[in-house]
A and B are shown apart, each in its own frame.
Chain A
Amino acid sequence: MPHKTFFQFMAPSLFAMFLFILLPIVSIVVQSLYIEHPAVIRVTETCQPLAPCTTETTVDAAATAALREAQPLGQFNGLGTYLDRNHLAFAEVAEVFREASGPRDVMTGLYNLPLYRALAFTFTYTFLVTPLAMILGFVIALAVNTVPRLLKGPVIFMSLVPMVITPLVGALILYWMLNTDGILGAALQSLTGDPDLSMRASPALTWVFLILYGTWTNAPFSFIVFYAGLQAVPKDTVEAAMIDGASRVERIRHVVLPSIKPLILFVLLVQLMDNFRVFEPIISFNAGASATSLSYLIYSSLNTQTTQLFGSAAATSVITIGFIAVLIVPVLLRVARELSVAR
């Protein structure tokens, strides 16, 4: 296809992506270098006869608003936002390491810093939910491949629902069940005999339930893809392995898994992308106090009662994109190479 025709066909798509994906990336980089104007403070001195002069400081609301109106971006702050306590906080991190008397202290110290707190949950969630959901999905696929045909239709139907359900809604219906006045939360209390065991009281339990939700909603994707992959495993190879006396487990390890390896890579990539952006379940579980993610941090900078903290949100966004570049790009390039070899 000649260049001109190609770009004529691509133009609307490229235009949309340029305007609403590429420019916003530039925009967050710029925004992250600025910070909101502080409120304009006016100091007035009142002197009355026979009394010492008093000074009074007031916030000049009108002047503050005018200043913010004139320079909506705020004032230039350089890398200040990146380095402050709410972001990379290098000074605080150095202090934690200086004062800490052991690895436990370091962990607690870091966990008190918002960005590191969010990183802790985001990474835990991504690197637990991804393998758990993939393993569960694979086991379901193997099981469905074994059962009578009658069950397959309903299983595929019911598996698609937790996957395509609105994330906020899916998390919410689980939260209502897992809460102390929900069926599962109450059952857990009576099983353990601990009437105080609740998500509100125990951050650890909140983490566990969020990871359970993640596995529940992500496993179906692995299941569907792997199930389709199982149908394409060459029968001859399986048969040959069987004649050679390979057991069921050996056949899965040495024949089935290698033949669906491209699918495993593909699912891994998609799952890493999706889990790293974990956001809605934290809103649904009302879990901001015990579990935050990078996306949640950005959201809470933007969703404030008073002034929106654009600089802060932008800095967190840039840091997030940096992590994605480091984490996901290697997997992404690997998949891309496989794709270009396959075609």
Chain B
Amino acid sequence: MAVPLEPRAFRRPPWLIWVASGFVLLWLFVAAFPFAWTVWGSFKIQADFFSRETWWNAIFGVNTLRVTGSAFTTDGYYGAWVATGFWRSALNTAIVALFVTTVSLTVGTLGGYALARSTYRYRFVILIAALFFRAMPDITIVSGYLLPFFQLNLWGHLPTAIIVLVALNQPFTLWMMYSFFQGIPRDLDESALVDGCTRFQAFRLAIVPVMWPGVITTGLFSFLLAYNDFTVTGLVLSERNQTMVPKIASYLGSIQNEGNVMFAVAAVVSIMIPIFLLVMFFQRYLVSGLTAGAVKG
């Protein structure tokens, strides 16, 4: 294996490497441990995971063994997914996230492209307005919807939540796609224009084939926004149409007192899994999205 040739002065002293490695390992532990602990604990009963005696119970599952006959139990998962209908919420989340992602990408890609190719001043007005919209907490806007939605009988349905999330997602999508299209040379679509294409044909033939890295990155953040949302889905959806996050919040209010907090733990682990997979498979796109100098989701 070739050793990279670095000037002697660039080499770090060994003590520094040890200190830095120790710190990095410590951070790795701090970042990962809460997840590992919760996943492990979700297979225990409440008396173990929330043990008042000793946290060794949560590791060995003393009470779980006594009650269920095994150190691991899937009671929490059964209670959440089957008994309290978490599957329906999962389905709703899938629908909402899928539609929000596709619609906001379609709309935002067109808009971002126009912003990147326009040379007039008003595009700055739109971009700055978008940034200000992005700065406002979602809930301030949601509080403006509720009364009109009740009056128009729009409240409670999935499509309502989807449209609202698409709109709230627009400022971010516009900025991401705008900065991505800025990086694509103008010659590419302008030569298509010279060849007699209309703007839309130029977009379709010259830009669409090369825009997928930017679309995937932006799409991931749009997906996360819809998947993670609590403000909109918690206030706009009826109980039957609840997505996973408000469903988990509803466990906290009622079931915690009944001793079934393990349903919430199981639901929390379930909602974490797709996020883990997403980070695992799309790590590179996520990092490039964050560092593109665009606005975080």
Q: B137 near A: Cβ within 8 Å?
A: yes
* A164 interface contact, C-beta 8 A: yes
Least CB distance, B14 to chain A, in whole angstroms? 11
In the assembled complex, how far is the CB of residue B172 from the closest CB belonging to chain A, in whole angstroms?
10
Tell me the bound Cα distance from A187 to B9 in angstroms.
45
For residue B140, which residues in chain A have a CB less than 8 angstroms away from its CB?
Answer: 28, 295, 298, 317, 320-321
Asked if B192 is at the interface (CB within 8 A of a chain A CB), the reply is no
The listed residue (A165, A169, A228, A324) touching B287 by CB distance below 8 A is: A228
Interface membership of A37, Cβ < 8 A: no
User: Chain A, interface size: which category?
Assistant: 35 or more
Chain A residues within 8 Å of B131, by CB: 332, 335-336
Please, which residues of chain A bring their CB within 8 A of the CB of B17?
Answer: 146-148
Q: Which of B108, B127, B248, B280 is within 8 Å of A172, CB to CB?
A: B248
Q: Which residues of B contact A280 (CB under 8 A)?
A: 230
- Enumerate A285-338 residues with CB–CB distance to B below 8 Å: 286, 294-295, 298-299, 301-303, 308, 310, 313-314, 316-317, 320-321, 324-325, 328-329, 332-333, 335-336
Contact at A317–B248, with CB atoms within 8 Å?
no
Q: How far, in whole Å, are A20 and B163 apart by their CA atoms in the complex?
A: 8
Q: Is the CB of A24 within 8 A of B145?
A: yes
Which residues 147-198 of B have a CB within 8 angstroms of A? Answer: 147-148, 150-151, 163-164, 166-168, 170-171, 174, 182
CB atoms of A303 and B235 under 8 A apart: yes
Contact in complex: A220, B31 (CB < 8 Å): yes
Cross-chain contact B7 with A317 (CB below 8 angstroms): no
Q: Which residues of B contact A228 (CB under 8 A)?
A: 287, 290-291
By DSSP majority rule, is chain B's interface helix, strand, loop, or mixed?
A: helix
B107 touches A225 (CB 8 A): no
Taking A1-B114, A144-B20 as known contacts, 15 extra A-B pairs with beta carbons closer than 8 A to each other, sorted by chain A number, are A9-B203, A10-B126, A17-B130, A20-B141, A143-B21, A143-B23, A159-B31, A162-B34, A166-B275, A183-B37, A186-B55, A242-B9, A320-B140, A333-B128, A336-B128
Q: Please list the residues of chain B having a beta carbon within 8 angstroms of any beta carbon in chain A.
A: 7, 9-10, 12, 16-17, 20-21, 23-25, 27-28, 30-32, 34-35, 37-38, 41, 49-52, 54-55, 58, 106-108, 110-111, 113-115, 117-120, 123-124, 126-128, 130-148, 150-151, 163-164, 166-168, 170-171, 174, 182, 199, 203, 224, 227-228, 230-231, 234-235, 245, 248-249, 252, 264-265, 268, 271-272, 275-276, 278-280, 283, 286-287, 290-291, 293, 295-296
